[in-house]
Structure 1
Amino acid sequence: MNRLNKLLAAKKDLLSIYFTAGYPKKESTVPLLQSLQKAGVDFVEVGMPYSDPLADGPVIQNSSTIALKNGMSLKVLFEQLKSIRETVSIPIILMGYINPVLRMGMSNFLAKCVDVGVDGVILPDLPFELYNDQYREDFEKAGISNIFLVTPQTPEKRVRMLDEGSTSFLYMVSSAAVTGARSGVSDNQLAYFDRIRSMNLKSPCVVGFGISNHETYTQVCRHAHGAIIGSAFVKLLENSLDLDADIQRFIAGVRN
């Protein structure tokens, strides 16, 4: 098993953090990964900045815009990550949109992921059917998990199809909206979480979109394998004067 699958098999109440590579500064990627590991985060999603991030709310859109202005690209990101496994052992997932990956070439992209020690990829706009027909064999040969998204609107038949095709976890989008922190978890969301849990899927489920604090994290963990925080953490980076200290405080607050 790779790092991600070992983690999923060994632990529940997982906490994952998303941030955009190259934000707030071009050189922030590695220090952020090191600080998040020190703070006790279970795994990290590193966003690949893109000029038209349609699924993202204003906070993450803004971070992508700044990262691109800072000179961040896939080539730069892989260069930054080339020695990351000397200091960071937690699973790392790359999350973003398919266009920059296809410009690099899927084979080259996956080879780079293997070289630097990336464990998984989330490409929300890569259709499962296209992945299954053209890329699944390449991902499986590389040992890289392609992580699929389910939403409250995903029919049961498709959820089961994605579950069958999954090699790690399913990313449960908490609501039919763009990314962004919210104040709490609604009854409709809880019913959705319970509906998915009652399907007894083989894949663990981790919830993202709208998780921002201890309250929403603990609510979600009662119904899923873990939670992902994105916008609230990116907003912290925007306003921080001492990144390492603020990260330790933020993660402790979520856990406790």
Structure 2
Amino acid sequence: MNRLQQLFKEQQKQLLSIYYTAGYPHLDDTLEIAEELEKTGADFLEIGFPYSDPVADGPIIQASSKQALDNGMTLALLFEQLKDLRQRVTIPILLMGYVNVVLQYGVDAFCSKCKEVGVDGCIIPDLPMYEYEELYQATFEKYGLSNIFLVTPQTSEERIRKIDGLSNAFIYLVSSSATTGSNLAVSENATNYFKRIADMKLKSPVVIGFGISNKETYLAASQHASGAIIGSAFVKNIDANNLKASIKGFMEQFS
């Protein structure tokens, strides 16, 4: 059982996950941000490895990815930065990014490195489910990695059931069809969508992301799931000149 699976076994309410981009705002900030987020109350983290065409991301995370790439961030460098991860951070860590980067690195090499540095799972939004199942599931499982699938309001019940069967940590429930950084509108449509998922009685816990920006939207999402993921709002808040203080200031609202 990896750290992520252990967390969801022990706690299934009001979990808070934070996403940020590796190599942003400065190339060497990756571990410092992780440490500070653990100290200030994050339950698990998603570290994004940047890509030149991040289609699922809104303008804030796109800009952070571009800056990280301009700073010189690569997947190989990220793994080098994470070599001391488990001496400094104890909470579960996911890597999030796009499949082209993983394929270029090599799937087996990627999964092996994740295990070596202490990464617990991955979110690769554009990795087709059938490809994962047919080509990569055995490799992920060999290295003890959880692969996190995304469900949207348009995902069919049949596909959700399939995803539930393939999942061994949690399912990422996308709050709307928008890109990241849009505001969570807890409208009747959204509430009906969350209720529909809850009524399916899935074996996997769900965590809501996209549009979670503050304590209000975090608590609203947490009513319908095990917790929520904040990305764009956190990345936007980072002050390159006052890193720790800006992280602490953002996280204080959740304590």
Query: Per the shorter chain, which TM-score range?
Result: over 0.9
Q: Scaled by the length of structure 2, what TM-score is found?
A: 0.98
Contact 1:211 1:228 in 2 (8 A): yes
- Any idea what the Cα deviations from partners look like across 1:135-180, whole Å, max 9, x if unmatched? 0111111100010000000000110000001011000010001100
Give the letter for the 1:78 counterpart: F
Q: What's 1:208 paired with?
A: 209
Moved over 4 A (4+): none
Give the letter for the 1:193 counterpart: F
Matches within 5 A, 1:3-152: 3-11=3-11, 12-152=13-153
Give the letter for the 2:220 counterpart: Q
Q: Distance in 2 between matches of 1:128 and 1:93?
A: 18
- SS where residue 103 of structure 2 aligns? helix
Q: Distance in 2 between matches of 1:155 and 1:6?
A: 29
Contact 2:212 2:229 in 1 (8 A): yes
- Cα distance, 1:186 vs structure 2: 2.1
Contact 1:184 1:215 in 2 (8 A): no
Of 188-197 and 208-217, more deviation after overlay is shown by 188-197
Q: Distance in 2 between matches of 1:105 and 1:172?
A: 28
- Any idea what the Cα deviations from partners look like across 1:106-136, whole Å, max 9, x if unmatched? 0000010010000000001000000000001
Contact 2:184 2:210 in 1 (8 A): no
Q: Distance in 1 between matches of 2:168 and 2:55?
A: 26
Of 173-182 and 152-161, more deviation after overlay is shown by 173-182
- Any idea what the Cα deviations from partners look like across 1:168-227, whole Å, max 9, x if unmatched? 100001000110041642221111111101100000000000000011000010100000
- Any idea what the Cα deviations from partners look like across 1:1-35, whole Å, max 9, x if unmatched? 21001111111210000000000000010100000
Q: Scaled by the length of structure 1, what TM-score is found?
A: 0.97
- Stretches of structure 2 lacking an aligned partner (at least 5 in a row): none
Q: Distance in 1 between matches of 2:157 and 2:40?
A: 37
- SS where residue 114 of structure 1 aligns? helix
Q: Distance in 2 between matches of 1:181 and 1:43?
A: 22
Q: Distance in 2 between matches of 1:181 and 1:85?
A: 33
Q: Distance in 2 between matches of 1:112 and 1:5?
A: 19
- Cα distance, 1:240 vs structure 2: 5.1
Contact 1:42 1:91 in 2 (8 A): yes
Q: What's 1:236 paired with?
A: 237
Equivalent pairs counted in the alignment come to: 254
Q: Distance in 2 between matches of 1:24 and 1:176?
A: 28
